Structure 1
Amino acid sequence: MTATPSQPYTPYMRRPRGNRPASPLRDVLTLLMLPLPLLVTAASGAFAGGGTRRWFGGRGESQRAEAQAAKDAAAAAFYDLDTAQRDLRISIETITAVDDSPAAQRAASDFETLGRRIDEASKLYITAVDAHDLDRDDLESSVASRARSELSASESELGKVKKDLDRFARSLGPLLDKAETQLARLAPAVERARQSLLAASNALDAVRNAGLQADDLAARLAALAPELTMLNQGAGRHGVPETLQRADRVMRDAEAVRAEAARLPERAEETDRRLVSLRTRAQALTTRSGQVEPVLSELRRRFTAACWQDLQRVPDQAAENVRQAELKLKEAQRARDAQRWPDATALLSTVRALLNTTDEAVSAAGDRLSRLNAVAKDPQQEIDRTRFAIRDAQRLAMAGRQTPDPRHARPLDDSVARLDRAVEALEGRHPDYWHFLTETEAVRTTVAAVVSRIREERGSGA
């Protein structure tokens, strides 16, 4: 076989295609000899096939970065909205725990409405995130662009809802301030109630150690035990407003028990003093009642029946009142011994009223005799006193006027005539001095009323 001269090999020569296997080393050398732009293009094509990563540079990577930035921004917006919603939920729970007003109920309803909007915006965000895996090696540029668009839209919606949520939170300021103020009062109020109960219990123990029973105070204190139980159960079970009201009520009632317990020894001493004083007064009235009969005897002897008839029953009534007072004093003593202080106080008040009535009746008899003696001796003094009152009223009625007001002049003229008739009645053989005294007193009362009316009208500019 004639040998064929071999041809020299150059890398730029295209080898004839045949059945020989391709040489890997040859392919690499061929790529290395290409210009750089062609090298990059060829490399991209080479690594895209056969399960290897396809490189896309330039705009592709930029779109991936933009999509990732949109994802990060949406995540930040989602986090901000979630945080704001959590904080606002605490505020709403604070308000509704304290306040059951229509405004508070409306705020809770508005928050629920906002919650539904938040859920919708969050769902839009989560759907966009789940729909696109930006870390995929084979992420298409069109997919990255769509992901960026959807994530940006979800960020925008999250931002809008966040603004509405912030606006709603600012509107809750007054309600939240009120609720927080009440919550701030809660613990101190409950503690004050507990301390008041403790102070009342200690005061009651001190009273009992002093030998006083104070059963009524003990019963009142025991009645507060269920209230203390509910206070200990807390506002979470009974509500803040109810707990605050209960704490204030317990504190007031316990303080009242403590104050009465502290005053009980003084009350016992005061009751003892009143018992002694009223007994002494009853005895003195018994003696004075015995002096009414001689006074009535003199009235009957010297004056007409009209001057003393209304005093006829004074001695018997005085004796009966004193007897009733002494019986009540014995009952009061028994109540004091049993330490039934309210009963003792009530009985002593009844005794005092009986003795006051008796004292007035007994004094009236003596006063009647003194006044009748004075007017019988010199009625002119009573007449002058009454005329002076009339003239003084007439001068006031004419002050600054040419003629008096008929509303003032008429009762004053009637008073003059009434006084004249009373004076004329004294000219009889047996004058009714008591009638004269009652008439002059009635005239002075009428004149005083006219004077008072004139001054009121002038003071008001009428």
Structure 2
Amino acid sequence: MAAMNGGGTRRWGWGSARAEHQRADAQAAKDDAAAAFYELDTAQRDLRISIETLNAVDDSPAARKAVADFADFGSRIDQVSHEYISAVDAHDLDRDDLDAGAAARARAELAKARQELERVRGELQRFGESLAPLLSQAETQLARLAPAVERAKQGLLAASNALDATRDSGLKADDLAGRLAALSPDLTKLNEGAGQHGVQETLRRADRVVREAEAVRGEAERLPERAAETDKRLASLRTRAQALHTRAGQVEPVLSELRRRFSAACWQDLQQVPAQAAKSVQRAEEKLAEGRKARDEQRWADATAQLSTVRALLNSADEAIKAAGDRLQRLNEVSFDHTKEVERTRFAIRDAQRLAMAGRSTPDPSHAGPLDDAVARVDRAVAGLTGRHPDYWHLLTELDAVKEAVQRVVEQIREQRAAGQ
């Protein structure tokens, strides 16, 4: 009996110690699982902040995929967390009657739960590391946000101040004021913040406001100078129009001398010059008056357009008037001695021929042909000077055409030699 009691006592003592040891192991497994659970939860919360940043800043396909992948991780984390909580709830390690077997099962299940928690945390960590480039870009965008919004506000203030200064100088600048007022809704949205309108959209809006405000500011600051320049152009063009009006009246005497001294072929194409010049000057004066009115009303774009038209009309009149005077001068020179112009042309031909023969025993046919033709054209033009009133204008135009043809041959030779042909 004593032996049985002694043996029983020893078995009970050994079983109790084993149970306590298993309970301790299970409790350690529970503590380890709890630590793994906490670490996973912390990692998820930390990464969620990054994902929210990414979602707010970056709308690229890569960013959208990262957000979706994180949501998938959330489901897996919920699953392993549920398994951990279930394992904890399934085993009361503080029970007095906890036997070694139950403690061993608890330890095994809690150890498994810890392993799953740690596995998912490792995957989550690797996933977070893979997002480093995207997060770096997102953080850069966020770092730009506040300065960009501030630049936009300062740009609007500078534009407003420049507009006020321009108006103080007596200029209306209504169009600039309208453009500045149109930016007011954008300023309201910038003040409402990126939380309501998104980081990317806020950055784009801020950049647009900066550009528009800078344009308004620049134009406002240049407006007094533009007004002064417009006034200067008005005065200059008015003076030029008056001068051309006087010169247009001098064309008819030039034509009379041409008619008297030269054949009809020398002046027929100039018959309409007096009327054309007078018409151009008249239209220029009308456009000048319209430009003056536009300037007085501070319609700067209209004023600039009118003055450009005035300049074109006066240029046209000037060229026509000058053409008549130049014609008479050239005809006077060639009628007195046409040999000088002819010799200049022949010299140009000979110079081109020397270039064509340089380094060659025979000329290239593509060069020789046009040059030979040029010689023949000069001979024919000179031979055509017959009668009481030779057609000197034909001679001059033909010699000009020959010199142009010779110059084309010279350019061709030089290009071919530069290319090594």
Normalised to the residue count of structure 2, the TM-score between the two structures is 0.93
Q: How many residues align?
A: 420
Q: Kindly indicate whether the alpha-carbon contact (under 8 Å) linking 2:280 and 2:317 is maintained by their aligned counterparts in 1.
A: yes
CA distance in 2, matches of 1:407, 1:115: 82
- Map 1:414-433 to 2 at 5 A: 414-433=373-392
2:69 to 110, 114, 118: 110
- Map 1:279-318 to 2 at 5 A: 279-318=238-277
Residue 30 of structure 1 aligns with which residue?
none
1:322 to 256, 281, 294: 281
Pairing 1:331–2:299 present: no
Pairing 1:96–2:64 present: no
Residues 107, 452 of structure 1: alpha-carbon distance in 2 compared, 3 angstrom cutoff: farther
CA distance in 2, matches of 1:299, 1:407: 41
Residue 83 of structure 1 aligns with which residue?
42
Deviation at 1:460, TM superposition (A): 3.2
The one-letter amino acid paired with 2:227 is A
- Bigger RCO of structures 1 and 2 (CA < 8 A, at least 6 apart): 2
Deviation at 1:308, TM superposition (A): 1.2
Deviation at 1:57, TM superposition (A): 4.3
Residue 357 of structure 1 aligns with which residue?
316
Residue 41 of structure 1 aligns with which residue?
9
The one-letter amino acid paired with 1:301 is R
- Map 1:195-206 to 2 at 5 A: 195-206=154-165
CA distance in 2, matches of 1:260, 1:370: 49
Deviation at 1:44, TM superposition (A): 6.5
The one-letter amino acid paired with 1:244 is L
SS at match of 1:339: coil
CA distance in 2, matches of 1:424, 1:337: 62
CA distance in 2, matches of 1:438, 1:251: 59
The one-letter amino acid paired with 1:342 is A
CA distance in 1, matches of 2:351, 2:78: 91
Residues 135, 385 of structure 1: alpha-carbon distance in 2 compared, 3 angstrom cutoff: farther
Normalised to the residue count of structure 1, the TM-score between the two structures is 0.85
- CA deviation profile, 1:436-461 (whole Å, cap 9, x unmatched): 21112112222222222332333334
Deviation at 1:427, TM superposition (A): 4.6
Residues 71, 398 of structure 1: alpha-carbon distance in 2 compared, 3 angstrom cutoff: farther
CA distance in 2, matches of 1:458, 1:155: 85
1:215 to 174, 193, 199: 174
Residue 393 of structure 1 aligns with which residue?
352
SS at match of 1:58: helix
- CA deviation profile, 1:345-388 (whole Å, cap 9, x unmatched): 22111111111111111111111111111222222222222222
Deviation at 1:40, TM superposition (A): 11
Deviation at 1:303, TM superposition (A): 1.3
Deviation at 1:39, TM superposition (A): 12
Q: Kindly indicate whether the alpha-carbon contact (under 8 Å) linking 2:148 and 2:206 is maintained by their aligned counterparts in 1.
A: yes
SS at match of 2:92: coil
Residue 48 of structure 1 aligns with which residue?
none
Pairing 1:172–2:131 present: yes
CA distance in 2, matches of 1:139, 1:369: 130
CA distance in 1, matches of 2:49, 2:420: 63
Deviation at 1:123, TM superposition (A): 1.7
Percent of counterpart pairs with the same letter? 70
Residues 406, 134 of structure 1: alpha-carbon distance in 2 compared, 3 angstrom cutoff: farther
1:436 to 383, 395, 406: 395
Deviation at 1:288, TM superposition (A): 0.8
Q: Kindly indicate whether the alpha-carbon contact (under 8 Å) linking 2:261 and 2:389 is maintained by their aligned counterparts in 1.
A: no
CA distance in 2, matches of 1:389, 1:94: 77
Residue 374 of structure 1 aligns with which residue?
333
SS at match of 1:67: helix
Pairing 1:404–2:404 present: no
Identify the range of structure 1 (431-440 vs 416-425) with the bigger mean alpha-carbon deviation.
416-425
CA distance in 2, matches of 1:207, 1:115: 60
CA distance in 2, matches of 1:409, 1:153: 100
Residues 109, 399 of structure 1: alpha-carbon distance in 2 compared, 3 angstrom cutoff: farther
The one-letter amino acid paired with 2:181 is A
CA distance in 1, matches of 2:420, 2:202: 55
Pairing 1:238–2:197 present: yes
Deviation at 1:43, TM superposition (A): 12
CA distance in 2, matches of 1:405, 1:81: 88
CA distance in 1, matches of 2:130, 2:413: 60
- CA deviation profile, 1:307-331 (whole Å, cap 9, x unmatched): 1111111111111111111112222
Residue 80 of structure 2 aligns with which residue?
121
1:446 to 399, 402, 405: 405
CA distance in 2, matches of 1:152, 1:163: 16
CA distance in 2, matches of 1:241, 1:388: 72
Q: Which has the larger radius of gyration?
A: 1
The one-letter amino acid paired with 1:97 is A
Deviation at 1:428, TM superposition (A): 4.8
The one-letter amino acid paired with 1:280 is T
Residues 451, 172 of structure 1: alpha-carbon distance in 2 compared, 3 angstrom cutoff: farther
1:156 to 100, 115, 124: 115
SS at match of 2:172: coil
Deviation at 1:197, TM superposition (A): 0.9
Deviation at 1:116, TM superposition (A): 2.0
Residues 106, 398 of structure 1: alpha-carbon distance in 2 compared, 3 angstrom cutoff: farther
Relative to total residues, which structure has the larger helix share, 1 or 2? Answer: 2
Deviation at 1:248, TM superposition (A): 1.2
CA distance in 2, matches of 1:390, 1:336: 55
Deviation at 1:146, TM superposition (A): 1.0
Residue 254 of structure 1 aligns with which residue?
213
Q: Which runs of 5+ in 1 are unaligned?
A: 1-13, 15-33, 46-54
